[in-house]
């Protein structure tokens, strides 16, 4: 499971590079921070249950953030 967090770090890094190429610097920095977060967690050697809890918490925070941003700030 720790390898999957490193894979997530790789893909968020790729997305950050695409945002940099598109001159979307705020989103590029956000994804670079997520990259560091995933790579650091990938090397911590937690149990699989802990990795699942971390991933679920990450998804909940991300979805709440996306819904809040799209509902309150995009109109």
For 27-72, how does the pLDDT look when each residue is reduced to its tens digit (9 = 90+)? 999 999 999 999 999 999 999 999 999 999 999 999 999 999 999 9
Total-model pTM: 0.86
Cβ–Cβ under 8 Å, residues 1 and 48: yes
For residue 24, what are the domain limits?
Answer: 2-72
Structurally, how many domains does the chain consist of? 1
């Amino acid at each position: 499971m720790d390898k999957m967090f490193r894979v997530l770090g790789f893909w968020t890094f790729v997305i950050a590079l695409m945002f940099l190429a598109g001159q979307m610097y705020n989103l590029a920095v956000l994804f670079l921070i997520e990259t560091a977060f995933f790579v650091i967690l990938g090397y911590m050697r937690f149990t699989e249950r802990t990795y699942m809890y971390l991933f679920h918490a990450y998804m909940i925070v991300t979805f709440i953030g996306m819904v809040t941003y799209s509902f309150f700030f995009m109109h």
